[in-house]
Amino acid sequence: MSILKDITRPVFPFTAIVGQEEMKLALILNVIDPKIGGVMIMGDRGTGKSTTIRAIADLLPQIEVVEDDLFNSHTSDYELMSDYVKKKVENGDQISTSLINVPMIDLPLGATEDRVCGTIDIEKALNDGIKTFEPGLLAKANRGILYVDEVNLLDDHLVDILLDSAASGWNTVEREGISIRHPARFVLVGSGNPEEGELRPQLLDRFGMHAEIRTVKEPSLRVKIVEQRSQFDTNPFGCIKQFQLKQDQLKSKILNAQKLLTHVNIDYELRVKISEVCGALDVDGLRGDIVTNRAARAFAAYQQEDNVTISHIKQVIVLCLRHRLRKDPLETIDSGIKVEQVVNKVFQ
């Protein structure tokens, strides 16, 4: 039985994925700086959305967590600690830790609010006077990735809860006069097919980035993708071994970017230009400005540079703004192209 437990299901290597550069970049930047606010991936069926998202989680280095803690608590970062661990730290108690893979949590479409947020065992609370918290998916996703497939079909109320937790980094459960609060800092990744319905604009706006995925049209590329997948299905471990060096290189690049991020500087003039673009596009609120600044700094860190340049901004700004434009039914121009036109005008 223990032998079976040790065998992990092989995951398609991230560096083996052909094309879909927009989606890959958006995921990498969110992993470098989770405060970007997640990514919404909209695209055709069968374009490798789920495969890519599972692959990015598998690529990430292991994290150190407090042993026997329900929330993957950090050992030194107060913002990522549960109240129980905070008390132990304040009392100077010994804390044992272990290394785990970055949590990758799938949220099923039929999930209830209790399943997502967690619930309080009322019977135990009333009989024994003990607050027993049954953690939900948000607790398990702390310091990891929460993936919602077909997010446009999920109940709006649940999407609201997810986005609130992703933005604040905390989840609060209030039941029968009992309140529990725990850290829930995760990268929220949603995917969907636009044919099955769009997400409400106010919910869409809460996602940091928006990647659009199209089916590859070029025959030679399609053949390459099919061959890559067939090779993996036939001999998964051989395929993983073949891409191991590339995987390790990308892993260390992401780790270096995470360390460098706090030192990356973005000049005042460039920040003004970003806000000028948002103003010219009539973007509601300031989320667009904030996310573009964050994403540009994360991309500069990914490129191992200390200062954000115009080329860094141009690389990420469409991903950050295209879903924030007001929809005009008579508009024939794609929102991404519209953003590019304004960017080229402002950054001449």
Q: Which residues are catalytic?
A: 287
- Distance between CA atoms of 318 and 336, rounded to whole angstroms? 6
Return all residues near 121 (Cβ < 8 A) that are at least 6 apart. Answer: 132, 133, 134
Give the whole-angstrom CA distance, residue 346 versus residue 340.
10
Q: How far apart are CA 31 and CA 122, in angstroms?
A: 37
Which of 105, 127, 125 has the alpha carbon at shortest distance from 116? 105
What backbone phi and psi angles, to 5 degrees, belong to 171? Answer: -125, 130
Contact 59, 218 (CB under 8 A): no
Please state, in angstroms and rounded to a whole number, the distance separating the CA atoms of residues 144 and 101.
9
- The answer for residues whose C-beta is within 8 angstroms of residue 266's C-beta and 6 or more apart is 293, 296, 297, 300, 307, 308
- Other C-beta atoms closer than 10 Å to the C-beta of 176 total 9
φ, ψ for residue 79 (rounded to 5)?
-70, -20
- Largest alpha-carbon pair distance within the chain? 70
C-beta separation of 285 from 205 below 8 A: yes
What does the DSSP 8-state code read for residue 332?
Answer: -
Q: Which tokens go with 179?
A: 């309140």
Q: Of 206, 345, 196, 210, whose CA–CA distance to 277 is shortest? A: 345
Integer angstrom CA distances of residue 88 from 50, 61, 66, 81, 82: 39, 26, 11, 11, 10
- Closest among 341, 306, 347 to 322, alpha carbons compared: 341
